[in-house]
Amino acid sequence: MAVGFSLMVVPILIESPFASLRLGFLCAPGAALFIYGLAYGQGWLAQFLSHRWILLLGMSSFAFYLIHDLIIRGFKGVFMYCQISANTALTATTITVILFVLIQIVSIWLLKTVELPIQKYLRGLARRKNPA
């Protein structure tokens, strides 16, 4: 895993503007080694990424991707209508964290109530059409 990460980072760390052109070919094998190390490794990072909460967040990431812009734009409209502004860094950070947690909750809810039932249904259809 460390070798793969190193192969991806070396072209970025070299100061030359053309280093990525000369060493860019190392990125693909580096990424492959890095992913292989995460998938089959037993280190602390692999264990962390296989925790059930992290897996849940990974599974709900597609729903997060689909709804985040809608929710952010909706809240932006409400804030503009109510003339609420984030004047300080603390206020902006608080609003950002609240929106992030809200979007995560909604995406997990969508995963469990929409995405997983549809997957189960479609897999059942596929099994009925192609009995193995």
**Digitized pLDDT (tens) for each residue of the chain, 132 residues in all:** 666 666 666 666 665 555 545 556 667 777 788 788 877 878 787 788 888 999 999 999 999 999 999 999 999 999 999 998 888 999 999 999 999 999 999 999 999 999 999 999 999 888 887 665
* Same domain, yes or no: 83 and 35: no
* Same domain, yes or no: 60 and 125: yes
* Same domain, yes or no: 61 and 38: no
Closest by Cα among 110, 9, 102 to 59: 110
pTM: 0.69
* Same domain, yes or no: 56 and 69: yes
* Same domain, yes or no: 116 and 68: yes
Provide the number of structural domains found in the chain: 2
- Given a contact cutoff of 8 angstroms between Cβ atoms, the answer to whether 10 and 23 are in contact is yes
- Residue whose token pair is 């009925």: 128
* Same domain, yes or no: 45 and 16: yes
Residue 15 dihedral angles phi and psi, to the nearest 5°: -70, -20
* Same domain, yes or no: 59 and 124: yes
SS3 (DSSP) at 18? coil
**pLDDT tens sequence across 22-49:** 556 667 777 788 788 877 878 787 788 8
Whole-angstrom distance, CA of residue 60 vs CA of residue 41: 24
* Same domain, yes or no: 73 and 111: yes
* Same domain, yes or no: 44 and 75: no
Domain that holds residue 87: 52-129
* Same domain, yes or no: 61 and 13: no
* Same domain, yes or no: 25 and 79: no
* Same domain, yes or no: 72 and 125: yes
